[in-house]
């Protein structure tokens, strides 16, 4: 007893402290690992908060500012951003020279500016104004430094106009016109008239777009189908596969069908012309910051509001309307404005089709490797190959998909089934089908590895109990192994979907485009066919827009990167939200399945 007590006291130094070092106790490693975790979470949170703030605040209405410089230049617009910068010696020297010239005239403007810069240790502030009016000035933005500003005002009737083309327009409301004649020159009355007629203009605009995209598209498809049927029947007659009477019958039916489609097309075109005349009847007259009068037809106005008069409630309605437009409308102005609805539809359609291909094959491959294959060098080599496949750069899959799927498989499909359409390719080009298959190959290792891990997590005692009850191998897998592996399998599937939804590099080669004329998912046509294939609402041969490619296109291929920045952040926020929703779905599904099959081992 005394020996144990002396050993215990010897393990402590004087003053009651332990003689063992902190490194030996492992406390530094606790702080190191915890600090690494905290730093990683901090970086992720900063990134997410930055994207969230930049994406979410872009749609909030701002006041319109009118700035006059000491040189007499006038700019009107909204503040895009503000930054500090170091004033160069050349600018400071120019202000000193200007101060000497003004001294004789009794002016102290340049002297005040120079003293202000020197007081702030050559640091100054400048703001980037989004001045718009690209069709008049040829530019959308203007930098203005604080030492250049003479006056700042917020004009009462400064109107921010969101247009279909040429970006935003900023100007003071002057008059309202009808049929080219000025109706009123009172800004308040002009604004009241605009509010009364603009909703009908937008309603007619949506009707016109529906006619152009849906109705005329249907008519054109019907006419093309009739032409292809006649060409097919003609080739059959040339190969002695049909009679002259049958060919003549098809020719008459084709001529009748084309005549019907042309009458429908003429009626639709007449309705479009009526809408154009009605919408171009009204206009607003503005005076720009430079004193130029400019008339905007209401047909080109998406939204307008007096930015310096609206209340908080009105700002919230505009904010909600901008988000609705972003989620449900088509892009405009070279994708820099408008909505991303086609990109959402393309991303979701491609991801779902990819899942249809990757999940069954991935699960079956994992089942064979875990449950049926005997351990050996071949199985080990296959597992190594799967792990290595997960590390192959995604652009390599894109090159493979372009060469094998598009050119080889697509070329053979066109020659066998769609020769009547040649030389216009049907499948020998990028489309939803080839993009989905390419990403299925890319995400296949994720599904296989996740499924194998889920299968191996099922206790062997459950398998043995099933065998003891007389069940076969497949009955055991079907009734015991697979149900209890479903949480892991579903997790692997959702993770594969999340990765596929965020990939961009392969899609640049096998289907994603900057602007697609038609959606890959046509909810207005459930009876569509492609040759002898009933497509329904999904058209696997069509190119599509993708959110990830949309971000790349705006960030690196846009003609005005500064104007595209808000759309880049907002689209990034939307893509992150979709991926987060997919992962949260995986967690919820996994939790429910675990509770359902939670039971003790045999």
Structure confidence at residue 602 as a pLDDT band (50, 70, 90): very low
Residue 188: phi, psi to the nearest 5?
-65, -45
24: pLDDT confidence band, cut at 50, 70 and 90? low
**Pairing between β-strand 293-297 and β-strand 331-332 as defined by DSSP bridges:** unpaired
- Among 42-56, 201-215, 523-537, 562-576, which stretch is predicted with the lowest mean pLDDT? 523-537
Q: How far is CA 19 from CA 1, 6, 14, 26, in A?
A: 22, 14, 9, 14
Q: Residue for token digits 């004009």?
A: 155
Distance CA 287, CA 455 (A): 71
| Residue ranges in 58-186 assigned as alpha helix (H) | 89-103, 109-119, 134-137
Establish how many alpha carbons lie within 13 A of residue 423's alpha carbon, considering only the half-sphere containing its beta carbon: 0
Q: In degrees, to the nearest 5, what angle opens at C-alpha 266 toward C-alphas 262 and 269?
A: 135
- Of 459, 452, 463, 440, nearest to 488 (Cα)? 452
Q: Is 108 helix (H, G, I), strand (E, B) or coil?
A: coil
More confident residue, 433 or 4: 433
Please determine, for residue 597, whether its predicted confidence score (pLDDT) is greater than 80.
no
Q: Is-above-0.75 flag for pTM? A: yes
Q: What pLDDT sits at residue 111?
A: 60
* Tokens describing residue 97: 């020279």
At residue 77, the 3 state secondary structure works out as strand
User: How do 149-153 and 65-69 pair as beta strands?
Assistant: antiparallel
Give the integer Cα–Cα distance in Å for 142 and 130.
7
Closest residue by Cα to residue 82 from 71, 67, 94: 67
pLDDT digits (tens, 9 = 90+) for 61-113: 999 999 998 888 999 999 988 888 787 777 777 777 777 666 666 666 666 67
- Token readout for 483 is 């149900």
| Main-chain dihedrals φ then ψ at residue 359, nearest 5 degrees | -70, -50
The whole-angstrom separation of Cα 461 and Cα 468 is: 10
DSSP, collapsed to helix, strand or coil, labels residue 70 as coil
């Amino acid at each position: 007893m005394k020996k144990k007590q002396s050993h215990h006291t010897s393990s402590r130094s004087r003053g009651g402290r332990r003689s063992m070092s902190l490194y030996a106790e492992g406390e530094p490693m606790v702080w190191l690992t915890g600090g690494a975790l905290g730093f990683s979470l901090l970086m992720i949170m900063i990134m997410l908060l930055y994207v969230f703030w930049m994406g979410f605040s872009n749609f909030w209405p701002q006041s319109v500012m009118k700035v006059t410089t000491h040189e007499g230049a006038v700019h009107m617009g909204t503040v895009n951003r503000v930054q500090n910068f170091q004033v160069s010696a050349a600018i400071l020297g120019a202000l000193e020279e200007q101060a000497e010239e003004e001294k004789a005239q009794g002016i102290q403007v340049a002297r005040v500016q120079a003293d202000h810069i020197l007081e702030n240790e050559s640091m100054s502030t400048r703001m980037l104004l989004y001045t718009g009016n690209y069709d008049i000035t040829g530019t959308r933005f203007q930098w203005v430094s604080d030492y250049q500003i003479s006056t700042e005002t917020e004009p009462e009737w400064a109107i921010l106009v969101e247009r279909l083309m040429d970006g935003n327009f900023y100007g003071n409301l002057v008059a309202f016109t009808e049929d080219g004649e000025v109706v009123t020159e009172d800004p308040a009355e002009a604004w009241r008239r605009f509010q009364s007629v603009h909703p009908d203009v937008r309603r007619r605009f949506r009707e016109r777009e529906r006619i152009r995209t849906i109705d005329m598209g249907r008519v054109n498809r019907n006419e093309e189908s009739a032409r292809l049927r006649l060409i097919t029947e003609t080739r059959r007659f040339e190969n002695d596969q049909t009679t002259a009477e049958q060919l003549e019958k098809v020719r008459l039916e084709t001529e009748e069908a084309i005549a019907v489609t042309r009458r429908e097309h003429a009626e639709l075109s007449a309705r479009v012309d009526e809408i154009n005349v009605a919408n171009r009847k009204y206009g607003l007259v503005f005076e720009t910051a430079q004193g130029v009068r400019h008339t905007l037809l209401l047909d080109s106005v998406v939204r307008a509001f007096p930015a310096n008069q609206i209340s908080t409630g009105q700002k919230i309605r505009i904010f909600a309307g901008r988000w609705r437009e972003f989620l449900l409308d088509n892009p405009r102005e070279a994708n820099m404005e408008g909505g991303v609805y086609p990109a959402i539809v393309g991303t979701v359609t491609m991801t779902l089709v990819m899942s249809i291909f990757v999940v069954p094959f991935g699960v079956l491959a994992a089942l064979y490797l875990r449950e049926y294959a005997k351990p050996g060098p071949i199985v080990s080599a296959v597992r190594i190959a799967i792990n290595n496949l997960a590390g192959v750069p995604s652009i390599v899959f894109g090159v493979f998909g372009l060469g094998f799927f598009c050119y080889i498989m697509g070329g053979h499909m066109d020659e066998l089934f769609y020769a009547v359409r040649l030389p216009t390719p049907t499948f020998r080009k990028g489309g939803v089908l080839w993009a989905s298959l390419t990403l299925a190959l890319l995400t296949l290792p994720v599904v296989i590895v996740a499924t194998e891990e889920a299968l191996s997590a099922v206790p062997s005692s459950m398998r043995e109990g099933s065998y003891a009850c007389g069940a076969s191998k497949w009955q055991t897998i079907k009734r015991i192994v697979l149900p209890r592996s479903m949480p892991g399998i579903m997790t692997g599937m959702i993770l594969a979907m999340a990765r596929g939804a965020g990939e961009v590099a392969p899609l640049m080669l096998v289907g994603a485009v900057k602007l697609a004329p038609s959606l890959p998912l046509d909810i207005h046509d459930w009876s569509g066919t492609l040759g002898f294939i009933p497509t329904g609402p999904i058209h696997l041969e069509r190119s599509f827009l993708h959110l990830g490619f949309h971000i790349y296109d705006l960030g690196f291929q846009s003609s005005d990167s500064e104007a595209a920045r808000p759309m880049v952040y907002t689209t990034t926020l939307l893509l992150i939200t979709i991926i987060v929703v997919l992962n949260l779905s995986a967690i919820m599904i996994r939790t429910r399945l675990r509770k359902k099959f939670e039971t003790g081992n045999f």
